[in-house]
Amino acid sequence: MACFQGKVAMITGGGSGIGLACARAIVSGGGKVMLAGRREDVLAKAADTLGPAARWVHCDVTRMADVEKAVTATERELGPLTLAVNSAGSATLGSVLTARPDEFLHTIDTNLLGVYRCMRHQARAMKVNGGGSMVNISSIASVLTHRSMTAYCVSKAGLNMLTRCAADDLGQHGIRVNAVLPGLVETDLAAPLVHTQEAREDYLRCMPLARIGKPEDVAQLVAFLLSDEAAWITGQCVAIDGGHTLRRGPNLVDLFRHFLPAE
């Protein structure tokens, strides 16, 4: 188990799924966590389950003021920020022909610019605090096309390069930045895919290790990358997907077809 004794983390999207699993791993290792997100009832419940080492704060990552206030609240309530997991995200359906520009922009604003906003303020705090470590939650959709999920794929591909650029920018301040690329994991966001037989079976056909991932699978890798055990690792985008990225993206076109306008 990674040691986070005396460490403070901010986790966006921390109320459920991968974000919450990462919070559990940090708390189990002796750290403290600030859960940041938009759903206050979900955040409050999650923080209660984690105990006195956890707090929560409302934060919409599409709003710079929210992000700044969340970082400030983290340091005020828990101490100097040295760890961050940027897990907040959203998805929308649509191809180049069918996706509305406003929907495309919202996905980019949340998944790419939202992480940029968070990293900007997290890094400023970590620089003052003598360094730190960030992990961004990307996706196998950053490297494998998912038809009818164009905006999501583009946003996650951009996130990978943002991660690499930030690692290059921030290394001089002792700040490490990495990303993980989960495959299909049992989360609220992925529930329509996990629980639809056609989609689930196609994902499994793409995986040498043919099972659906759990949030804890991803959290273990995130915890390692955050920890001092990974002290010489930065700028890496690591897939955790049962081997899915060895093959192809999922075929979800027929599943999505009745949700999309005609081309």
The predicted-structure confidence for 132-141, as pLDDT tens digits, reads as follows: 999 999 999 9
Tens-place pLDDT, residues 50-100: 999 999 999 999 999 999 999 999 999 999 999 999 999 999 999 999 999
How high is the mean pLDDT of the chain?
A: 96
| pTM assigned to the model | 0.96
pLDDT of 189 reads: 84
Rounded distance between C-alpha atoms, residue 130 and residue 252, angstroms: 45
What is the average per-residue pLDDT within 237-247?
98
* Residue 178 β-bridge partners: 135
Structural domains present in the chain = 8-253 (3.40.50.720)
Residue 222 is encoded by which pair of tokens? 């995130």
Question: Would you say residue 261 has pLDDT above 70?
Answer: no
Gap between the Cα atoms of 232 and 213, Å rounded = 27
Give catalytic residue positions. Answer: 152
**pLDDT(256) > 80:** no
114 phi, psi to nearest 5 deg: -60, -45
Helices (H), 62-113: 64-77, 101-108
How high is the pLDDT of residue 206? 97
Tell me which of 192-206, 217-231, 232-246 is least confident: 192-206
Dihedral angle at the C-alpha atoms of 240, 106, 100, 198, nearest 10 degrees?
Answer: 30
- The per-residue pLDDT for 254 is 81
In which band, very low, low, confident or very high, does the pLDDT at 1 lie, cut at 50, 70 and 90? confident
- Contact by Cβ (8 Å): 125, 167: no
pLDDT value for 257: 77
pLDDT of residue 198: 92
> Does pLDDT of 263 surpass 90?
no
pLDDT digits (tens, 9 = 90+) for 142-167: 999 999 999 999 999 999 999 999 99
Q: Is 194 exposed, middle or buried (0-12, 13-18, 19+ CB in 10 A)?
A: middle
